[in-house]
Amino acid sequence: MKIYLSLVILLLSFTKLYAQTGRISGRVVNASGAAEESVNIILKGTGKGTLTSANGDFEFSALPAGTYHLLGTGIGIKQIEKKISLQDGETVTLELTSTEGVQELQTVEITGRKETTYKNDLSFIASKTATPIKDVPQAISYITKEVMRDQGTFLMGDAVKNMSGVNQFTFYDDLTIRGFRMNGGSTTQLVNGLRTFSGFWKQPPVNYLERVEVIKGAASALYGNTSPGGTINRVTKKPLTTAQKSLTFTTGSFNTLRTLADFTGPMNESKTLLYRLNLGYVNAQGFRNLQFDKNIIVAPSVSFLPTEKTRINFDLVYNRSNSRLDRGQSVKGNDLYSSSISTSLNAVNDYLNEETYLITTSLNHQFTQHTSFNIAYLRTGYSEDLLEHRSSNVNAVDSAGKALENLVARQVFIRKTKSFMDNVSLFFNHNFNTGIAEHKLVAGYDYIQSFTPKGSGQQTANGYLLKSGGAAAYNAKTPERYQFYNYTENGVTYSIPKPNIPHYDLTLQNNNMEDPSKYIFNVTANAATTPVFYKLHGLYLQEQLKINRLQILLGLRLDTYVDKKGYTTNTETNVTQHALLPRIGAVYSLSNHINIYGTYTKGYNPQDATVQSDPLSGGPFDPIRSSLGEAGLKTEWFDGRLTANLSAYQIEQTNTLYSANAVDNPNLMQQIGREKAKGVEFDVTGNILSNWSLILTYSYNDAKITDAGTKATDQVLVNKQKPNAPKSQGSIWTKYTFTAEALKGLGIALGGNFVTTRNLSLNNTQTLPGYALLNGAVYYKIDKFQVQVNLNNLANKTHWVGGYDYLRLFPGAPRNFMATISYTF
């Protein structure tokens, strides 16, 4: 009996002990509500720890009553801390939200951004440290992949319309930022903070990008020769520590077919080896006659994290494009509406085949808690194979040399070329304190080389047929040299010289299959095919000093630029230039949510090496020099979900090159004395509510020629607004996702953008009208599927995004739609 009694007492004791233990369970999600997998959760001082599941869940059981200090850590998130008081027998359920956090080690981005909103908090490009954008004394605009996804964006030109002060110059990879031109054919754009270039003729796709960002004003103190208007940085998607996969299919107007895939996750159990693979296939005809574009994109990325102190990343972006080169729309005289916006001057058998690759390898190592080392290498390669019928930039003429507005003179280019670039960047970061002052030092070295090797070439056919054989530009003083035929226009018959290439008749729209073997070609010295080699050495030092609410940024860079004039010839010589580039800025925190800033920088940009080497350009030319003064306000609202920034600036630049618009020599350039741009920009980005996103931008930019040099004939250019630089432009985009049960999964978006009147080239008599476009979208998400329909240019507004003159206009797309279905798993 005693034995049974003892057992009952023992059982009751255990029951009482169990009843006095508690349980802590919870879930970790990110700012958009998605589960955070593999977050390390520990109860400090207890020895207990666990990892969150694929659904973000965790649990601790059999806990005695007491106070616990919970810590959550993971790659790419800030440490989570929570104090919990647990009573006897109590179960505490937690909902923990992670925020994106980047260690100082990631001065070059290695692991992917986990945030899934329109807002981005950090910038690596502006200071080569993981600095909050609000603490950078310079305006920075950006577009995240979430914005590009919601707008159905595939090309860069559609992405940058969401940025204040950024405008298309043409529909190539060709932009103006604060009134200063920056194009992909130049070498002042960045990928992951490293120097690169593109083929110019096609805008880069964005499906493999995490975000697109622009540092407004010259970034010369860190990156050397850059545009004074701003520098574009394309940030590629990096691997994530959690497995994610998505497939996207799009179809719609202009016979568009697009298939995209994005896979990422760990490659081993310890999650020290991560991967990401972005794939894309695009086949679209576009709204322009004879135009099409086929793209295959392969973009793998691998990150290796052998220790907490060392990270290695490899990126490849390969893009093969088959298309036709579109030189734009031509119109009759000064009537912009005299021809359809679909009018192009191509022949049926024209082609443009391009291959581009970018290979990046980077390594970050943290020696101590305060000191890290970063090295990165980017190799860019580009090849082009081209046959095109295009405008000669003039109308055809009759026997007296009078222009005939219905006929556009054409020429033919056959070109093969290759170009390469290498950029090595290494720098040290060192953080330390002296009293109340915090210091961030950056010291680095850049080496850049760019070359077009021997072996490229171009043949050109143009002009009018001679009786003696051959072809030449027409001279009305010697008509007896040329062959003639009769042409009738509006009932009037003209005797006109016979062209080497058939004229394009705007009345007949003669896009035929042509036979280039019948043309008379000349091998021409072309800037794109001339062997070119230049290299740049840059040494820089930067200090970020913080004392309480005041932050000061000081930077200095010494550039040595070497251009091999006459590259690959017996007369090859080095042309060397030096530049000392300072940067000074300050940020003062008026409160936790409001910062004011000011900055001054100097910029330097050697003239394009291909233009300098072109014997027809009229060079050599002096380098471009610039200065920037800027002040502004950076604020945060709604618990940091929304940012609103205001900036005012003035930029001065000397020695810019513009086309001389010479009929007999389209390569001839002129060097303008001085330009000035001053303006105001306003940007709002983020979430008003967790289910309500907003982007709002506006810019006023007065960009003019202020000094046209010493020639009296150039003085007519003074006070003219710079080409394709609207005085005012802006955009809005807002998306709302319904949360009511009856409408769950449904979202709508509405947006638009506008620009005002723009000048073409430096000819003030040829302008483009302003325009305002309205766009919208509808979304429906159920489980892992989302259906999305984007409607663009709802009012079917005829508009032009840019151009050179009325024979080379670049119209925007008419009303169109894109339907997308995506599956995430």
- Among 190, 225, 231, 232, residue whose Cα is nearest residue 626: 225
- Among 537, 551, 631, 589, residue whose Cα is nearest residue 127: 551
Helix (H, G, I), strand (E, B) or coil at 203: coil
Is residue 550's pLDDT more than 50?
yes
Q: Is 666 exposed, middle or buried (0-12, 13-18, 19+ CB in 10 A)?
A: middle
Handedness of CA 608, 613, 619, 623 (dihedral sign): positive
Buried/exposed 332-348: b ≥16 CB within 10 Å, e otherwise = beeebebbbbebbbbbe
Quote the number of domains for the chain. Answer: 2
Helix (H, G, I), strand (E, B) or coil at 146: helix
Considering the domain boundaries, does residue 468 fall inside one?
no
274 residue type, one letter: L
CA 379 – CA 360 distance, rounded (Å): 7
Mean pLDDT of 754-773: 91
Mean pLDDT of 519-525: 80
CA 393 – CA 665 distance, rounded (Å): 11
Summarize pLDDT for 583-596 with one digit per residue, the tens.
999 999 999 899 99
pLDDT at 614: 66
Is residue 103's pLDDT more than 60?
no
- Among 323, 447, 326, 456, residue whose Cα is nearest residue 382: 456
Establish whether the linkage from the previous residue to 615 is cis, with ω within 30° of 0: no
Q: Is 165 exposed, middle or buried (0-12, 13-18, 19+ CB in 10 A)?
A: buried
Summarize pLDDT for 191-209 with one digit per residue, the tens.
999 999 888 899 999 999 9
CA 425 – CA 374 distance, rounded (Å): 8
Whether the CB-CB separation of 651 and 677 falls below 8 Å is answered with yes
Helix (H, G, I), strand (E, B) or coil at 558: strand
pTM for the full predicted model: 0.85
Q: What is the DSSP letter of 499?
A: B
**Which one of 97, 120, 141 terminates a domain?**
97
Is residue 267's pLDDT more than 90?
yes
Is residue 10's pLDDT more than 60?
no
Considering the domain boundaries, does residue 400 fall inside one?
yes
What percentage of residues in the chain have a pLDDT greater than 70? 91
CA 450 – CA 609 distance, rounded (Å): 9
- Comparison of pLDDT for 10 and 475, the residue scoring more: 475
Phi, psi torsion values for 155, nearest 5 degrees: -115, 155
Mean pLDDT of 796-820: 96
List, as own/partner pairs, every contact residues 400-407 make where C-beta atoms lie below 8 angstroms and the sequence separation is at least 24, other chains included: 400/476, 401/474, 401/476, 404/487, 404/489, 404/494, 404/496, 405/332, 405/333, 405/506, 406/332, 406/489, 406/505, 406/506, 406/507, 407/487, 407/489, 407/496, 407/503, 407/504, 407/505, 407/506
Local confidence band at 687 (pLDDT 50, 70, 90 cut-offs): very high
Which of the residue ranges 187-201, 263-277, 314-328, 699-713 would you say has the lowest mean pLDDT? 699-713
Element (H, E) at 68: strand 66-73
Considering the domain boundaries, does residue 516 fall inside one?
no
pLDDT at 109: 66
Considering the domain boundaries, does residue 576 fall inside one?
yes
330 residue type, one letter: S
Considering the domain boundaries, does residue 418 fall inside one?
yes
Phi-psi region of 744 (alpha: psi -120 to 50; beta: other; left: phi over 0): beta
Domain of residue 8 covers 2-97
Torsion of CA 434, 440, 443, 444, to 10 degrees: 170
Q: Is 197 exposed, middle or buried (0-12, 13-18, 19+ CB in 10 A)?
A: buried
* Start-to-end CA span in the chain (Å): 63
Mean pLDDT of 318-338: 96
- Comparison of pLDDT for 648 and 709, the residue scoring more: 648
Tokens of residue 308, six digits: 């907490």
CA 206 – CA 456 distance, rounded (Å): 29
Torsion of CA 447, 452, 455, 461, to 10 degrees: 180
CA 284 – CA 295 distance, rounded (Å): 9
pLDDT at 709: 65
Element (H, E) at 157: helix 156-159
What is the DSSP pairing of strand 293-307 with strand 310-323? antiparallel
Q: What is the mean pLDDT of the chain?
A: 89
Summarize pLDDT for 276-288 with one digit per residue, the tens.
999 999 999 999 9
Q: What is the CATH number of the domain that holds 27?
A: 2.60.40.10
pLDDT at 185: 62
Helix (H, G, I), strand (E, B) or coil at 57: strand
Summarize pLDDT for 439-455 with one digit per residue, the tens.
999 999 999 999 999 98
CA 304 – CA 310 distance, rounded (Å): 8
On the CB side of 368, CA atoms within 13 Å amount to: 6
Whether the CB-CB separation of 232 and 212 falls below 8 Å is answered with yes
Is residue 12's pLDDT more than 50?
no
CA 329 – CA 347 distance, rounded (Å): 14
Is residue 223's pLDDT more than 60?
yes
Which of the residue ranges 105-109, 272-276, 606-610 would you say has the lowest mean pLDDT? 105-109
Mean pLDDT of 329-356: 96
CA 741 – CA 230 distance, rounded (Å): 46
What is the DSSP pairing of strand 532-547 with strand 522-523? unpaired
Whether the CB-CB separation of 169 and 176 falls below 8 Å is answered with yes
Is residue 38's pLDDT more than 80?
no
Whether the CB-CB separation of 121 and 114 falls below 8 Å is answered with no
pLDDT at 710: 63
Local confidence band at 15 (pLDDT 50, 70, 90 cut-offs): very low
Q: What is the CATH number of the domain that holds 712?
A: 2.40.170.20
pLDDT at 265: 94
Whether the CB-CB separation of 784 and 244 falls below 8 Å is answered with no
The DSSP annotation for 520-535 comes to: --EE---TTTS-EEEE
**Which one of 47, 69, 97 terminates a domain?**
97
Mean pLDDT of 348-377: 94
**Which one of 97, 127, 149 terminates a domain?**
97
